[in-house]
Amino acid sequence: MQKIMVFQQNGSGKSKIDGINKFGEKQFLITTFDIDEALPLVLDDTSEYLPKKIDADIVLDFLKHRDLSDDLSLLCEKLDIPVVASGKKITTGQAICTPT
């Protein structure tokens, strides 16, 4: 079973999670990492919001905050975990940024 970790803010990945569960034929184990609190416009240090370790085969980034997405991409690069950030233009790490 493939492990997917979804990073989201305020339920922003819910429809994608629902789609994977509906059409994935039970081939995926999905865990979510939720950030539901209000955040400042600039986060100089995202370490209090992101985990140190990630146990997943792939990460899906539905975070709204640019600083979180950039640092998540760097973390995933360090951990050698592919990250897909659909509709974003992340310039750090090796995130795959597909059009929406």
Residue 35's domain spans which residues?
A: 2-84
pTM here is: 0.89
State pLDDT tens for residues 32-71. Answer: 999 999 999 999 999 999 999 999 999 999 999 999 999 9
- Of 37, 99, 91, residue with least CA distance to 63: 37
Confidence of residue 78 (pLDDT cuts 50, 70, 90): very high
Q: Is 86 helix (H, G, I), strand (E, B) or coil?
A: coil
> For residue 48, is it within any domain?
yes
Number of domains composing the chain: 1
> For residue 91, is it within any domain?
no
CB 31 within 8 A of CB 20: no
> What number of other Cβ atoms are within 10 A of residue 7's Cβ?
25
> For residue 89, is it within any domain?
no
State the Cα–Cα distance between residues 19 and 5, nearest whole angstrom: 14
**Average pLDDT across the chain, whole number:** 91
> For residue 97, is it within any domain?
no
CB 31 within 8 A of CB 5: yes
Half-sphere exposure of 56 (CA within 13 A, CB side): 25
Q: Residue 71 maps to which CATH number?
A: 3.40.50
Q: Is 42 helix (H, G, I), strand (E, B) or coil?
A: coil
> For residue 93, is it within any domain?
no
